[in-house]
Amino acid sequence: MPAQPTWLPPVLYNGPVTSPPLVLGGGIGGILAAAALHRAGHRPVVLEQDDLSAAAGVRRGTPQAGQLHNLLTRAQVHLGELLPGYRDALLGSGGVEAVVSQQTHVRELGIAMPERDLGLRLWSAPRTVLEQVARDLLPLGCEIRDRTRVTGIDVAGGRVTAVHVERNGRAEVLPTDLVVDAMGTLSRAAEWTGSAPPIEVQPVRQWYCTAVVERPPAWHGRSDFWLIFPDHPDTRGALVSPWGTDRWYVSLSGVTGGPVPRSPDDLVAFSQALPDPQVGELLRSARVVVPPRVFGKPTAVWRHYERQAAPVTGLLPLGDAVGSLNPLFGQGVSVAAWQAAGLAAAARSSTSTEELTHRHLDQAAAACAAAWALMHVYAPPEGSDLPRLGDNEWQTLAGLVRADAAAHRRYVGMWHLLEPTSVLRELVPATSPEIAT
């Protein structure tokens, strides 16, 4: 095996990993994975194919990198654990924080949801800012190598042994026995290692369009959001998020087959046809500065590494490399952060790489399952253990949420990945034949 390249840090481990762990991918998932391994006493190296210098701008490897991202409470909790000081640094870099649901004006369950402080927050910032703040907080002992393209992973005896890269025009082989795959939906790690996990595909048929508008002066500097969730079976929704001090980021959504806004006039017309007039009124008096851009996602994909009879020891997929979810739910960063927090715990407590691999795969699957279940809240598939609520039960839930702040908190907590979907069954007991499991 080739000698270890001089740019890798020395091996300084007492735990089950005997060579520097390599994290493949320098996005938010890879950064958090590196922070997790560092907390367990390791000195990971992050390998990123894109140029991460300030002059490079938006990363080519992240199609949504230039867009605004809203972070749910689950993400906030683990970002704070793995990168202490993250909240203050994010807000200091132009991020916005709003009180849920006092400042997040929500229409859901067919009603205008109560505007009360639920003890939850919503953070908002461009993806580039989220990642840069995370990189700046990465502790000493973690190294990031950009402009380094991963071209393969070696496996011998069912174990990871090395990673192949191209860097500065040179091919290199980096010995390692632990690899975190944070390369996203296009990862080829399963192909390179011959692991071939079972794959579950869920039709999404989702489109969404985004635009940036200039706020009217009366709204400058405010942290308010507006969220309109589709009234099932209607599929139209909207999200207006603060961007800086004087702009809003607007996202309108629907499913394949419906009208898609492609111009500023379309944007206003679509918003005025939503079940709540607030967004339409906002956009009617706002100037569009970045016209609508349309994105589509036909399917969600879950790679069930945890179901393999003999997983490759030392291969730890994370984030979109495990599950590519419905982007409108805003759960991607939350799931990756949750998985990274689990990786930190597993790396601290495991006594072998085999044990670490199994623990991580199980925990990563559990985090993905929590978000996956939310895609089926309104229409659970046959055989699912999710509660199937009829129209009367949804109306009962709406009334309960309006009247009871604790019930409201638990319901919203489900969407923030703090409560399981079984909270619906707890809030609305299955006393009617319209509810089935």
Question: Cβ(193)–Cβ(73) under 8 Å?
Answer: no
Q: What is the pLDDT of residue 6?
A: 33
Q: What is the value of pTM for the model shown?
A: 0.92
What is the Cα Rg of the chain in Å?
22
So what's the pLDDT on residue 1? 34
Q: Does residue 398 sit in helix, strand or coil?
A: helix
Q: What is the pLDDT of residues 333-369, one digit of tens each?
A: 999 999 999 999 999 999 999 999 999 999 999 999 9
In this structure, what are the phi and psi dihedrals at residue 183, rounded to the nearest 5 degrees?
-90, 5
Q: What is the mean pLDDT of residues 392-411?
A: 96
Identify the weakest region by mean pLDDT among 23-37, 51-65, 94-108, 376-390: 51-65
Rounded to the nearest integer, the mean pLDDT of the chain is: 90
**N-to-C CA span, the chain:** 55
Q: Residue 205: pLDDT band by 50, 70, 90 thresholds?
A: confident
Q: What is the mean pLDDT of residues 317-330?
A: 92
Per-residue pLDDT reduced to its tens digit, 69-98: 999 999 999 999 999 999 999 999 999 999
pLDDT tens digits for 325-335?
Answer: 988 788 999 99
Residue-wise pLDDT for 31-69, tens only, equals: 999 999 999 999 999 999 999 986 545 555 554 556 799
Distance, in Å, from the CA atom of 192 to the CA atom of 163, rounded to the nearest integer, reads 10
Mean pLDDT along residues 103-121? 97
Domains of the chain, first to last: 22-84+130-198+304-374 (3.50.50.60), 199-302 (3.30.70), 391-427 (no CATH)
Q: Which of 49-63, 112-126, 131-145, 214-228 has the lowest mean pLDDT?
A: 49-63
Question: Is the preceding omega at residue 233 within 30 degrees of 0, hence cis?
Answer: yes
More confident residue, 53 or 124: 124
